[in-house]
A and B are shown apart, each in its own frame.
Chain A
Amino acid sequence: MSRLNPVNKKARKVEQMIDAARGDVEALQKKSKASPGRIYYPMGCTLNFTPGWEVDNSGGTAGLCQPVERDLFDCYLGCGWPAQVPDHLNNAPDWTDKCSSAVNDWRKVDVVFP
C-alpha cells in the first residue's frame, strides 16, 4: 500500500502517531465472522459501556436486556481481558462448579477472595 514518505524527524513522529491511532487493544483483536473487517466484542463486555449485569426486582434475569447468563461463561472462560468475574485460567478454576446452568444456578456462583 502506498504511504507518505517522511523526510524529517517530525514527519517520522507524525507517522508513528498515525500508526498508533490505527491500532487497538491487542487482547480484543479477534475478528468478527458476522461482519468481516470489524473487531469482535463479546456481548456484555464492559468495553461496550453497558451498565453490567442485572437482575430484576424479584431476582429474575430472563427478561432483562443484559442478563448474567448471556455471557457469564463468555467472560469467565473465553476472555483473557481483565473482567468483572474471576478468571478461569489461574485463580478460580472451580468457580462455576455448582453452576451447571447459568439461568437456574447463577445464585450458587459465590464471591471470590483473591
Chain B
Amino acid sequence: MSAVVEALPSILYRPGEAHAFRAADADFLYLVPSGAIFRMEGLAREMIEQVRQRPMTRGDIVEFFSLRGHDIAEIEAMLDELDQAEVLTSNFSRRPPPVVPLQSFPLQRVVLNVTNQCNLACTYCYEYSADRIAQQDGKPKYMSADVAESAVEMLIQESAGREGLHITFFGGETLLNFSVMRSTVEYAKRRGAESGKRIEFSVTTNATLLTEEIVDFLSEHRIGVTVSIDGDQELNDRMRVFHDGRGSYSVIAPKIRNLLHRHRTNSIGARVTLTSQVNDVKRIYRHLTTELGFDSVGFSPATASPDRLYHIGTRKMDNILDSFTELAWEYRDYAVAGRQHGFTNVSDTLKELHSGVSKAYPCGAGVGLLGVGTAGDISLCHRFADAPVGKMGHVKNGGVDHEARREFLSTHHIGARFDCHTCWARPVCSGGCFHEGYIHYGRTSAANLHYCDWIRGWNDVCLHILGEISVRNPSFLERFEN
C-alpha cells in the first residue's frame, strides 16, 4: 500500500469516524465502528488535530510536520499507522464490507418462561400491563416438565461446538413453578454430562416465594439469582404490589436477607425498574447495598408507551442520567482505589467498551439466545414469549425455525438500521432493544430513537471512566479481560 501512497502525493486525509474524549488530562479516541480506544499523544495527536481543522494531502502533512522538526520517515510511518487503524481515512483506505447475516449462530442460552402467572401485579409489567404483547389464550399457565426437557434437548442440539451453555428460568413469577425448575435443572445436568456440555443456570424472581428449601437448592446447584426490587419500602411499594394492592417490600425483605446469607455459590443481583415515580437512583442503590446487602445492582427504565403515566419522559430521563453519572463517578473512585463497586450498569458497559465490541445486533436475542413459552413455543427472547411477532418455531414440532431466524437476523442487522449509521455509539448500542422498539414504534426493527441522547451520554460517561482508570489504575481493567 505504501507504494500506492508514494505514487499519489495528492491523497487526501480526513479524520476517521470517532468519538474524542479527555480523561485524566489525556486525550482519547473511541474509534467507530471498530470499538478500539487509543490514547493520543505526541505526533499522532498533533496530526489528528491538524487534519480535523481541514482535510490535508499526504504531501501537506509531511511538509507541515517536517518543517516542525519531525523526521520524514517517522511522519510517514505514523501516517500509515493512523490510516491502518482508521484514525484517519482517505479515498484510498480499504473498508471491507460486512458479511450479512451471520452464517452460523450456535445457541448458547435459552430463557424458559416456566409460568405466565404472577402473584404480584406490578403496574409496569410488560407481561401484564396495558403494553403487553403476549397472547396467552389457550396456552397453559405452567410449563410442563416434558416441554422444559424438550427445550433442554433443543439447546444441546442447536449449540453445535459450544461447551458452556446457560438456562435462565423466568416467568411470570418463576418460583410459582419451582417443581419444574427443579426437575429441569436435574435433567439438564444429567444431559449436559452425557453430551459433554457445561450447563449453568440462573433465575429471575420477585423473591416473594423464597423458602429455605428453595434457597438451599439454588445454592447447591450454583444458580445465579436476579431479584426484582425497586428500593426501600416506600419506593418499592409504589409499583411492586400484590393483586390486592398491598406492597411487597415487607414480605420480600426478610427473604432476601436470608437468600444473601445462605446462598454463596453464585452471584445474586438486584434489578431495579425505573419509572416516572421511582427514579432516585442513589437512594435505591444505597438501600439495596448497605441495608439489604446486595453486591450488585442494575437499573433499567420500564418499557412503556409514551402515554403511560409511569413512562419516563425526556426531562426525567435527563435527570436519571445525571444521577447515574453521579453514582458512576463513585464507581470510578472505587476503581481507581482498586475497590469493587456494585453499580452494574457501569461494569457491564465498561466490559463491553474494554473488549471493544462492535455489535451487529443489540443483544443475543435470536442469535445465541432464544425464549421458550409455557406451551413450548420458541420466541426471539423471553419478552416475546407467546407474542404474535418474533416466533421462531416450537421445541417439539420441528424445533427452531431456522428460516424465520435467518430472516429476522438479516432484517435486523445494524446495517439495516439506517437511523444508526452516523451515530458513534452504534458499536455498543446497535439500535437498542427489539421489544422496546416494538412497544414504542410498532416495529421490532425500529431503532430506539427516544434513547439516543441518553445512550450517547451514558457511553461518554463510561468512556471517561475507562480512560481515567487506564491512566490511574490500569490493573483494574484486568477483570474485564475475559
Q: Which B residues are in CB contact (< 8 Å) with A2?
A: 41-44, 74, 78
Q: Report yes or no: A7 in contact with B38, Cβ–Cβ below 8 A.
A: yes
Per the bound structure, the CA–CA distance linking A4 and B37 in Å amounts to 10
**Residue interface bits B456-482, CB-to-A below 8 A is 1, else 0:** 000000000011001000000100010
Q: Is the beta-carbon distance between B84 and A21 smaller than 8 angstroms?
A: yes
B36 at the interface (CB under 8 A from A): yes
> Which positions 56-89 of chain B face chain A at CB distance < 8 Å?
74, 77-78, 81-82, 84-85, 87
User: What are the residues of chain B within 8 A of A18 when measuring CB–CB?
Assistant: 81, 84-85
Across the interface, which residues of A come within 8 angstroms of B82, CB to CB?
4
Tell me whether A8 and B74 are in contact in the complex, defined as CB-CB below 8 angstroms, given that A13-B36, A14-B36 are known contacts: no
Q: Produce 1/0 per residue, B367-392, CB < 8 A to A.
A: 00000000000000000000000000
B81 touches A5 (CB 8 A): no
Whether, in the assembled complex, B55 has its beta carbon less than 8 Å from a beta carbon of chain A, the answer is no
What are the interface flags for A1-12 relative to B under an 8 Å C-beta threshold, 1 for contact and 0 otherwise? Answer: 111111111110
**Residues in B whose Cβ lies below 8 Å from that of A14:** 31, 34, 36, 84-85
B85 touches A10 (CB 8 A): no
Contact of A34 with B by CB under 8 A: no
Q: Tell me whether B81 and A8 are in contact (CB under 8 A).
A: no
Given A2-B78, A18-B81, decide whether A11 and B37 contact each other with a Cβ distance below 8 A: yes
A10 and B78 alpha carbons, distance in the complex (Å): 19
CA of A18 to CA of B356 in the docked complex: distance in angstroms?
Answer: 17
Q: A5–B38 contact, CB under 8 A?
A: yes
| Min CB gap A25→B, angstroms | 17
For the complex, what is the distance from the CA of A4 to the CA of B84, rounded to whole Å? Answer: 11
Report whether B41 and A8 are in contact in the complex, using a CB–CB cutoff of 8 Å. Answer: no
Most chain A beta-carbon contacts within 10 A, residue among B39, B77, B84, B481: B84
A67→B481 CA distance, assembly (Å): 57
Chain A contacts for B354, CB-based, 8 A: 8-9
A15: B residues at CB distance < 8 A: 85
For the complex, give the distance between the alpha carbons of A8 and B474 in Å.
Answer: 10
- Residues of A within 8 Å of B85, CB to CB, are 4, 11, 14-15, 18
Q: Which residues of A contact B81 (CB under 8 A)?
A: 3-4, 18
Chain A nearest CB, measured from B478 CB (Å): 11
Are A10 and B36 in touch, CB under 8 angstroms? Answer: yes
| Chain A CB within 8 A of B353 CB | yes
Is B35 engaged at the interface, CB distance under 8 Å to the other chain?
yes
> Among the listed B39, B77, B356, B481, which residue makes an inter-chain contact with A5, where contact means beta carbons less than 8 Å apart?
B39
The verdict on B28 contacting chain A, using a C-beta distance below 8 Å, is: yes
Tell me the bound Cα distance from A18 to B31 in angstroms.
15
CB<8 Å pairs between A and B, sample of 15:
A2-B44, A3-B44, A4-B44, A5-B39, A5-B41, A7-B28, A7-B470, A8-B353, A8-B354, A8-B355, A8-B466, A9-B354, A9-B356, A14-B36, A15-B85
Which residues from chain B sit less than 8 Å from chain A, CB to CB? 28, 31, 34-44, 74, 77-78, 81-82, 84-85, 87, 353-358, 466-467, 470, 477, 481
Known: A5-B38, A13-B36. 19 other contacts (CB 8 A): A1-B77, A2-B41, A2-B43, A2-B44, A3-B81, A4-B38, A6-B38, A7-B28, A7-B37, A9-B356, A10-B37, A10-B355, A10-B356, A11-B31, A11-B37, A11-B38, A14-B36, A18-B81, A18-B85
Q: Which 7 A-B pairs have the closest CB atoms?
A: A10-B356, A11-B36, A5-B39, A7-B37, A10-B36, A8-B37, A18-B84
